[in-house]
Amino acid sequence: MTLAFLNLTWPTFANGLALGGVYALMAVGIGLVFGVLRLVNFAYGQLIMAGAFALAYGSQWGFPNWASILFCFGVVLGLSILMDWLVFRPLRTHSPAVMLVATFAVAFLLQNIALLAFGPLGKSAGSLAILNAPWDVGGVFIKKIAVISVATAAGCLVILQLLLTRTPLGLHMRAASMDFRTARLLGVRANRVISGAVIISGLFAAVSAVMLSVQELTVVPAFGTQDTILVLAGVVLGGLNRPVPATLGGFAIGFANGILGGVLPSNQSQYLPSFLFAAVIVVLLVRPDGLFTRARGSVERV
């Protein structure tokens, strides 16, 4: 481990920050939908996968980058809304466990659709891959995408924070995630709040898709699945029903993943998932409500 810390360089640190930023966005995307629907969307990774494929095809078809990114946003948003209509809303009144298994099924379904449609070999992120070129920041070479990811994630989170605290829709979403029933009795429109959460969550999935497909280079049908599992762990680690702790949890696990993956020798880094999940389990045992929350009652609705 001591050796590992000696290996920590600025580029590795930047990559850790970049992955942490993307995971934080994913955590918020998952957390927002959980807040209003009490539904853990396991299929979130497949939204990202679909977006990444859209990017790859966009660049294969010779779209300019801005058009590829727009195409990616369109695909992810469309799929989010479809998922909301076909799966989330019909399941709204079911138990959290049923909803989790159902989104598990959707994830599996979408992954296999991708396997059938795009094959197992995967595609390259295409023309956006040039963002992996380094920038010279005071003698330290840092990948452009790392800087862009951190800046974009920070920007998205600030905008979301403003939306949640400064607009009526944001206030309604926060209230709905605390007590949906009372919020409705006060005139908060359930459908609008749910649509708001689903759309923001979809937007963040699209942003994550762009960042991740540049960072990870190849898009395969399983793209995003492992990331989603880690983010879910991070979100539960932070505290599922609290936006800020959930974001911190997502960031922490992404940062740890990025840093440790960079500094550990490969005979240790291959066990990285084990270390991360062991840490998650330990935290869950000590603080079942999350690491970054004040001790209080369980957030689950019975």
List residues binding other proteins (CB under 8 A).
40, 86-87, 90-91, 94, 96-98, 100-102, 104-106, 108-110, 112-113, 115-116, 168, 171-172, 174-175, 178-179, 181-190, 225, 229, 232-233, 236, 240, 270-271, 273-274, 277-278, 280-281, 284-285, 288, 298, 300
Nearest approach in angstroms of CB 184 to other proteins is 4
Nearest approach in angstroms of CB 148 to other proteins is 30
Nearest approach in angstroms of CB 280 to other proteins is 5
Structure tokens at 102: 């159902």
Which residue has 């946003």 as its token pair? 73
Q: Which amino acid, one-letter code, is at 153?
A: A
Q: Which three-class secondary structure state does DSSP give residue 136?
A: strand
| Cβ proximity to other proteins, 6 vs 117, nearer residue | 117
For residue 143, the cross-strand partners are 134
CA distance 72 to 55: 6
| Cβ proximity to other proteins, 92 vs 144, nearer residue | 92
| Cβ proximity to other proteins, 130 vs 281, nearer residue | 281
| CA of residue 105 relative to chain centroid, distance | 19
CA distance 3 to 268: 12
Which residue has 């409705």 as its token pair? 184
CA distance 126 to 205: 19
Helix and strand totals (H; E) in the chain: 13, 4
| Cβ proximity to other proteins, 23 vs 71, nearer residue | 23
Among the listed residues 165, 266, 201, the one whose alpha carbon sits nearest the alpha carbon of residue 25? 201
| Cβ proximity to other proteins, 143 vs 242, nearer residue | 242
Nearest approach in angstroms of CB 106 to other proteins is 6
Nearest approach in angstroms of CB 300 to other proteins is 5
| Cβ proximity to other proteins, 110 vs 211, nearer residue | 110
Nearest approach in angstroms of CB 159 to other proteins is 19
Is 4 in contact with 172 (CB distance < 8 Å)?
no
Which residue has 């935290």 as its token pair? 283
